[in-house]
Amino acid sequence: MNDVSDYLAAIGRKGGLKSRRSLSSDQAKEMVRVREARRAFRDFHGSCFWSERPDYKVTAKDVDWVIERLRTYGGHAGVRKAAQLCR
């Protein structure tokens, strides 16, 4: 049992060291912003983004466009979501 625990600890430590990356706080915030914009695109596709393909991949350059469409066509919920993306 102890050998198995040691083995799992060793491979877990190795994987953790390999997958670590250093991001600045600005990069991390931008990644979160893009992720939330992608989620908003999916959630509001029927009301705000109906003219786009459902599998459209939102990128960092599209976040402002997503915010604009949410404010224009998203109703109260869309405006709230746009405000969250602007933080």
pLDDT tens string, the chain, 87 residues long: the values are 577 778 877 777 666 555 566 778 899 899 999 999 999 999 999 999 999 999 999 999 999 999 999 999 999 999 999 999 998
Considering the domain boundaries, does residue 81 fall inside one? yes
Domain membership of residue 69 (yes or no) is yes
**What's residue 4's pLDDT?**
79
Contacts of residue 81, defined as CB under 8 A and 6 or more positions apart, other chains included, come to: 40, 43, 44, 70, 74
29, part of any domain? yes
Q: Which domain covers residue 72, as residue numbers?
A: 23-85
